């Protein structure tokens, strides 16, 4: 069995590695199932492509999510 790992990146998104299925608020799968797949999930709430990260946290006007 392959493990799922969630890494919290300092001032950045969550990195989900492994065969997790990630669904958006409507229940639509945005990634998952493949043991080699990696999903990068927004933590700052500013992404135009939720739940995935679009690097909006790097903009200077964005307050970073606390650790």
Per-residue pLDDT tens over the stretch 2-44: 789 999 988 789 999 989 999 989 999 988 778 888 999 998 8
Would residue 67 count as lying in a domain?
no
Would residue 17 count as lying in a domain?
yes
Q: What's the number of domains the chain is made of?
A: 1
Would residue 14 count as lying in a domain?
yes
pTM above 0.85, yes or no: no
The conformation of residue 11, written as its DSSP 8-state character, comes to: T
60 burial level (CB within 10 Å; 0-12, 13-18, 19+): exposed
Cis peptide before 51 (omega within 30 of 0): yes
């Amino acid at each position: 069995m392959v493990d799922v790992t969630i890494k919290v990146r300092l001032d950045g998104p969550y990195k989900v590695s492994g065969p997790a299925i990630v669904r958006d608020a409507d229940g639509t799968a945005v990634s998952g199932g493949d043991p080699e797949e990696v999903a990068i999930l927004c933590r700052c709430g500013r992404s135009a492509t939720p739940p995935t990260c679009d690097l909006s946290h790097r903009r200077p006007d964005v307050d970073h999510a606390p650790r």
